[in-house]
Amino acid sequence: MKKVVLAIGLYCSFLPMVKSQEFLFYNRSPKGGSTMTDNSSDFVKRQLKFEEVNLVAGYYLQDGNNSAVTGGIGTEKLTDLANSFEIRFSKLDRFKRTHSFTLDFNIDNYTSASSDKIDPLTVSSASRKDTHIYPSFSWSVNDAEVGFTQGLSYSYSTEYDYKSHGINAFITKLSKDKNTEISVKAGAFFDTYMCILPAELRPYSYPSGAERDQVGIDYKPRNSYNGSLSISQVINQRLQVMAMIEPSFQEGLLSTPFHRVFFTNGNSTVEKLPGTRFKLPFGLRLSYFAGDKTVIRAFYRAYVDDWGMTAHTMNLEVPYKITPFFSVSPFYRFNAQSAVRYFKPYAQHATTENFYTSDYDISSFTSQFMGLGLRIATPGGIMGITNFNSLEIRYGYYSRSTGMVGHSISAHIKIK
């Protein structure tokens, strides 16, 4: 089952020495032959250069008592182990533009106690745990002479009950003095969702959605269209700011088929939400270099959508260098949001309502996320390994005013 979790990656990578590979392109001579010598004026030499590789993994644990699967009550216990392998290459073309290629493969394994309640008569159903796989490939080309960058990416995601294809594109323009950068992005995701219903709400002969019982089950689309406009400005040698706006539009099955809703009269049904949703977040990011040892990174984000939700998020991180090669980074994030107009707690919905949900992810709450990061980066490499560029370990604690808590731990090993 698809879950949105607060997993923060445990970054860990391993790669033997990678050398650049040369690709030779031959041009036909006037007599029909081909030239292969470095002295030929027609000879073109291009290199594919290794940049870096990361193997990402992370562990996240949460617990609470407001599961949407059981109508806004019940366990929210969840664990997630995430892994990702990322490798980056670059090369120059004949116009001296830099092409960058990134291949990213991600896989998450999680267990969800609440998902096991989709069919309470099953001691341990397939929905109790799942594997989420989502690879992606991206390409970009940068023309440093004119300060212009453009790129494309494709992503694929699959889980037991849904599949998704995503495409994204962006263009970035850097000013001549290199103090201003404008970036425009656009993307679309096309999802297909398996309509697995709670056991007691399935019509006669409706499949359960189990691995051997999928024939005849409904599949619904869920599409998302995203845009982004950002402007980054260097104010002076110490201060840099960025402003951004990121509108998005969703259509299709926006409710979750296995989320229950209980009415005031004791009856129950499945969650029902509108078939479209428009979101409008905008934010401001600030980076301030407060001397040789300290950087202040602050972020503010405001959000509004046509379901009635508003939200405000503030984030602060202050990396501090204890030595030139070792730093600590305390961080803190606060979020406050209002509920969508269709939300009510367990057994408080009226049967006359057109839309209804008891999903506490879109309820009114405040949340906090705080923790500490430790980073080491030595010039000669870590543990004597030249390409072992840096190691960072982070721990975070998450809490909601609804009572849900979460813990995450991460480490980042970068090879360059």
pLDDT tens by residue, 295-351: 999 999 999 999 999 999 999 999 999 998 999 999 999 999 999 999 999 999 999
pLDDT bucket at 45, cuts 50 / 70 / 90? low
pLDDT for 55? 81
pLDDT value at 18 more than 60: no
Task: Answer yes or no: is 36 within a domain.
Answer: no
pLDDT in tens, 355-374: 999 999 999 999 999 999 99
Rounded percentage of the chain residues whose pLDDT exceeds 90: 65
The predicted structure's pLDDT at residue 108: 92
d(CA 40, CA 33): 13
What 3-state class would DSSP assign to 361? helix
Count of domains in the chain?
1
Q: Which of 112, 113, 114, 89 is nearest to 99 (CA)?
A: 89
Structure tokens at 351: 């049967």
The answer to the question of residue 329 being in a domain is: yes
pLDDT at residue 119 in the model: 74
Q: Is the pLDDT of residue 386 over 80?
A: no
Asked, for residue 258, whether it belongs to a domain, the answer is: yes
Position 2 in a domain:
no
Supply the pLDDT for residue 6: 37
Query: Given a cut of 50, is residue 71 above it in pLDDT?
Result: yes
In a domain, 37, yes or no: no
Residue 21 in this model has a pLDDT that exceeds 50: no
Q: 326 is in which domain, residue-wise?
A: 10-30+45-415
Question: Are the C-beta atoms of residues 11 and 54 closer than 8 Å to each other?
Answer: yes
Supply the pTM of this predicted model.
0.84
Report if residue 38 sits inside a domain. Answer: no
Backbone φ, ψ for residue 117 (5° rounding) = -85, 0
At residue 3, the pLDDT reads: 42
Return the beta strands (E) in 113-147 as ranges.
129-133, 136-143
- The 8-class DSSP code of residue 412 comes to E
pLDDT of residue 328: 97
CA distances from 413 to 13, 388, 399 (A): 6, 7, 28
Domain CATH code at residue 300? 2.40.160.40
| Average pLDDT over all residues of the chain | 86
CA-CA-CA-CA dihedral for 253, 254, 255, 258, to nearest 10: 60
Rounded Cα gap, residues 192 and 126, in angstroms: 19
What's the full length of the chain, in residues? 416
Buried b (16+ CB within 10 A) or exposed e, 140-150: bbbeeeebebe
- CA–CA dist 373, 330 (Å, integer): 6
Please give the Cα distance from 125 to 111 (Å, whole number): 11
Residue 139 pLDDT > 90, yes or no? Answer: yes
With CA atoms as reference, report the closest residue to 259 among 352, 362, 159.
362
